[in-house]
Amino acid sequence: MIETVGSTADGDLIINIGPQHPATHGVLHLVVTLHGETIKKVEPHLGYIHRSIEKMCESLTYRQYIYVTSRMDYLSSHINNHACSLIVEKGLQIEVPPRAQVIRVLMDELTRIASHELWWGAMAMDLGAFTPFFHAFREREVINDIMEETCGARLTMNYLLPGGVLDDIHPNFQRKVKDFIKLFKSKIDEYDEMVTGNIIFQSRMKDVGYISAADAISFGCSGPTLRGSGVSCDVRKIYPYEIYDKLDFEEVLESGGDSFARYMVRIREMKQSIRIIEQLIDNIPEGEFQAKTKAVLKLPKGEFYQRVETARGEFGIYIVSEGGTTPYRIKFRSPGFSNLSALDHMARGGKIGDLVAMMGTLDLVIPDIDR
Amino acid sequence: MWSFSEIANMIHTWLNDTFSPTLVTIIEMVIMGVLVISLFAVLGLILVIMERKVSAWMQIRLGPNRVGPKGIFQSAADTLKLLMKEAMTPNGADKFLFNFAPYLAIIVAMLLMAPIVFAKDFTMWDLNIGVLYVSAVSSLSVISILMAGWASNNKYSLLGAMRSGAQIVSYELSAGLAILTVVVLTGTLNLNEIILSQQNGWWIFKGHIPIIISFLIFIIAVTAETNRAPFDLAEAESELTAGFHTEYSGMKFALFFLAEYVNVFIVCAIGATLFLGGWMPFHIGNWEGFNHIMDYIPSSLWFFGKTFFLIFLIMWFRWTFPRLRIDQLLNLEWKYLLPISMVNLLIVTAMAILGWHF
């Protein structure tokens, strides 16, 4: 049991950041040992929003369990669903029609942009600037509207099923996405003007929360957190799924390893996502949006693993099947959990204000950490 | 034309004719007190609604728009709500200090109102050491924040209060030195005389670059002194939830809130008085016609216009900048602002001796 009240024997303050705190964006509980303003130790307490999703999935069929995963990392819910579909398709060798593949990737990238937009606004708010939040939501709202039109939902889209997508795209989809690309390109410079170039922002971010490439790997970080330390780890490049191997985009790498590097990775990733969408939006092939599948899906006996790149990093699913209609054992590897474990290492010696900035750049989504 | 000074003189004469001198003093004191309290309340309401409208405008929102036309009564409704709310005192808190701190904050803000020249010949207390009085009294505000932070018996409050203590004490130096530059040029500590010295041009125009620098330093330092973003470390809601007033609720919280806004008004009024000529109208050299038109605008409008311009500037900071970190905040003061303002003061002194200003 970790001591959560009072002070240590050395006279250091112990403060509880969370479970209810504006900076944790959820019910994360950090027990922070402070020497004055300097951080000596950060101990995350988890479990406040644990819903035993893994156990729940074990009693759901391969069609049903996909939609529970929307509730893990709710900001990349579509990408989580994508991984769940992919693993079933891999197990049953279902051919996904090209139209469905393109739609899935388009939705993935839109989700990624929406997630990064929210992160950008929330991170600026962590640093005390309120205005960027509203500016980010202005663009994010457009994506949500596009999603609503096609998928019927704005956040937990539940748009996928093994073998394709649930429904065809809305007739307005292509036009609206093109409008969004135009809007986004005109606004992304505003983001740089308002936040990236700000001298206070840069002094808050640079040389703060440093983590070396070796440390980041040993903590199991992934996604923008690891790429900020200069390690190539984009699943879309290394283990391409769907049509990512045919697409022309760059893996964003920054060598700084500090908060600013992680920030820049995400900002540049948004531009790369736009690049992917531009390549695909006019080239959605005609044809079926769903493959014909059996009414009851049964994964063959064996073990399966599938990884995808969510907005936060590498999301993995491990399924042990006994040949039945439900998984025997299921395990999710969520990016947030591993990224959070690096927080203590980053924060030691920093100030309490830095801790909030670091948590911002890790882009924590708490239901993703507590599954 | 009617002006505040004429009305005040009329009342004064009428009172003197009717009552005995002792009674007149007492009545005038009561009137003064009522005026200060009502000005206080009105200013609080106006500044809160102004802040919300300015922030909404910067954040592509509408802001409050339900209570009254365009939502102008929103802050009045909020105040009513806060008055109704229970003002709790935590069990572990030091009861006396905890309850006294918000009133101290308010008292300090009220005391600061005294020497401000609101319009031509219209001031509550024409004090010959006005500038000294302002800088002396304004430094008391840190005591109320420290008191609140310590008495709350909450670690967030304590951290916020300690931050605020370090911050206000350091930034007072540059604010004081920036004010001194004008005092050196005018040779007086009386706010009225400082305004009169700007008859042929405001100090920001007459004082060349050194005064512009000290004006900038003054604006930065007072933003920090009033705990406004980007220097709102004492509150820092994303780090310390609400800093020194975490445990306060209801009207006791509102008093801190009110004191913050009134302090903003006061420092902006001082800034307008020292650098922008107070109630002095804007004149351009020999443009007789233009200067004449400017003279027709009432002096109180000039004063409030300038003050609210500075307030807008401070609000603009708040809604655009991220927050500094505590060590960066102190670095900025001790490594940059303080040396610069010291050198600046030397230059201005040389300027004043050699008569290089207009």
The CA distance from A346 to A214, in Å, is: 13
Q: What is the pTM of this model?
A: 0.85
Q: Residue A204: what residue type?
A: R
Whether B45 maps to a domain, the answer reads no
Using a CB–CB cutoff of 8 Å, tell me whether B230 touches chain A.
yes
Give the nearest partner residue to B238 out of A13, A23, A201, using CB atoms: A23
Say how far apart CA B248 and CA B253 lie, in whole Å: 5
Of B319, B323, B327, the CB nearest to A127: B323
Q: What is the band of A1 on the pLDDT scale with cuts at 50, 70, 90?
A: low
> Could A356 and B239 be called an inter-chain contact, meaning their C-beta atoms sit closer than 8 Å?
yes
Is B324 close to A204, i.e. CB distance below 8 A? yes
Nearest by CB: B325 against A125, A133, A353 = A353
Q: What is the mean pLDDT of chain A?
A: 86
Expressed as residue numbers, the domain containing B91 is 87-354
Q: Are strands A164-165 and A160-161 parallel, antiparallel or unpaired?
A: antiparallel
Domain assignment present for residue B42? The answer is no
**Distance (Å, rounded) from C-alpha B342 to C-alpha B168?**
18
Question: Is some CB atom of chain B closer than 8 A to the CB atom of A120?
Answer: no
- Mean of the pLDDT values across residues B46-50? 88
CB A223 within 8 A of CB A339: yes
Interface touch A125/B155, C-beta < 8 Å:
no
Given a cut of 60, whether residue B1 has pLDDT beyond it is no
Q: Report chain A residues whose CB lies below 8 A from the CB of B325.
A: 203-204, 351, 353-354
The answer to whether residue B109 sits within a structural domain is yes
What does the CA dihedral B143, B145, B150, B156 come to, rounded to 10 degrees? -150
The residue among B57, B238, B246 with the most chain A CBs within 10 A of its CB, best to mutate, is B238
pLDDT in tens, A273-313: 898 888 888 888 888 888 888 888 888 888 889 889 888 88
What is the secondary structure of A223-234 as a DSSP string? THHHHTTT----
* Helices B208-225 + B338-354 axis angle, to 10: 140
In a domain, B14, yes or no: no
Residue showing tokens 């170039």: A197
pLDDT digits (tens, 9 = 90+) for A326-364: 889 998 888 888 888 888 888 888 888 888 888 888 888
Tell me the pLDDT tens digit for each residue of A305-328: 988 988 888 888 999 988 888 889
Q: How does pLDDT run across A94-118, given as a tens digit for each residue?
A: 888 888 888 888 888 989 999 998 9
| A50-369 maps to CATH 3.40.50.880 | no
Mutate to test the interface with A, among B60, B152, B228, B239 (most CBs of A within 10 A): B239
Percentage helix, strand, coil for chain A under 3-state DSSP, each rounded to 5: 50, 15, 40
Q: Is residue B256 part of a domain?
A: yes
- Whether A324 has its CB under 8 Å from any CB of chain B: the answer is no
B58–A131 CB contact, under 8 Å: yes
User: Residue A311 and residue A61: Cα distance in Å, rounded?
Assistant: 27
**What CA–CA distance (Å, rounded) separates B134 from B114?**
9
Question: Does A21 lie at the interface with B, CB-CB under 8 angstroms?
Answer: yes
- The packing angle between helices B155-186 and B130-138, to 10°, is 170
pLDDT digits (tens, 9 = 90+) for B148-168: 888 888 888 888 888 888 888
Number of domains in chain B: 1
Q: In whole angstroms, give the CA distance from residue A96 to residue A87.
A: 12
CA distance A8 to chain B (A): 14
Evaluate if residue A4 carries a pLDDT over 70.
no
**Extents of the domains making up chain A:** 1-48, 50-369
pLDDT for position B119: 79
Residue A199 is encoded by which pair of tokens?
A: 């001298």
In a domain, residue B75? The reply is no
Encode pLDDT of B207-228 as tens digits: 778 888 888 999 998 888 888 8
What Rg value do the Cα atoms of chain A yield, rounded?
Answer: 21
**Is the preceding peptide bond at A367 cis, omega within 30 degrees of 0?**
no
A37 in B contact zone (CB under 8 Å):
yes
CA distance A203 to chain B (A): 8
Q: Say whether pLDDT at A2 is over 70.
A: no
- Residue B281 to residue B200: CA distance in whole angstroms: 10
Could A124 and B326 be called an inter-chain contact, meaning their C-beta atoms sit closer than 8 Å? Answer: no
